[in-house]
Amino acid sequence: SADSPEKSASGAGTRNLHFQFCLQQALRMKAAGLLTLIGCLVTGAESKIYTRCKLAKIFSRAGLDNYWGFSLGNWICMAYYESGYNTTAQTVLDDGSIDYGIFQINSFTWCRQGTLQEQNHCHVACSALITDDLTDAIICARKIVKETEGMNYWQGWRKHCEGRDLSEWKKGCEVS
């Protein structure tokens, strides 16, 4: 179901999960919904969609477990509800900015898309946030948590993860 962590360790069905996630995102959006759906369909063939356990291992190795007091479960849950674990997810917002990658990091404040108005607090090109190498995305997400004092930046985290028992998100993933 869309409200629980993906249980598949093999990654089977991830393309269907990706489409379902894209459809949910498009339906939630107003003006940008169609653009979101088109973007998801176009990038669907090229995108890397991680499994829950693969991300748990990557996030653990990157030191995200208990970073600023947020357990690994918080990070895995947030990534699921922000992007469906899709590294190339892009969401066009009503203000014209774009949320990029597995953490849906916004182009106006955190990365450089090419316009002069951007703040680029992470000192990174937005395109670096939509690759299979999650290094830049993780560094930027850590900066967001540190500078905004928590995970409240992410709406998916606030709605679905905050204040909940998130131990299931890393269960069976061979991480401590």
Q: What is the pLDDT of residues 129-143, one digit of tens each?
A: 999 999 999 999 999
Catalytic residue among 6, 65, 99, 136: 99
**CATH code of domain 52-170:** 1.10.530.10
Residue 82 bears catalytic tag: yes
Beta strand spans in 13-119 (E): 90-92, 98-100, 105-106
- The sheet with strand 105-106 has its strands ordered as 90-92, 98-100, 105-106
Residue 99 known to be catalytic: yes
Could you state, in order of their start, the residue ranges of all structural domains in the chain? 52-170
Q: What is the pLDDT of residues 110-161, one digit of tens each?
A: 999 876 667 899 999 999 999 999 999 999 999 999 999 899 999 999 999 9
Catalytic residue (choose from 3, 6, 65, 82) = 82
Alpha helices in 63-174 (DSSP H): 72-83, 135-148, 155-160
Distance CA 141, CA 135 (A): 10
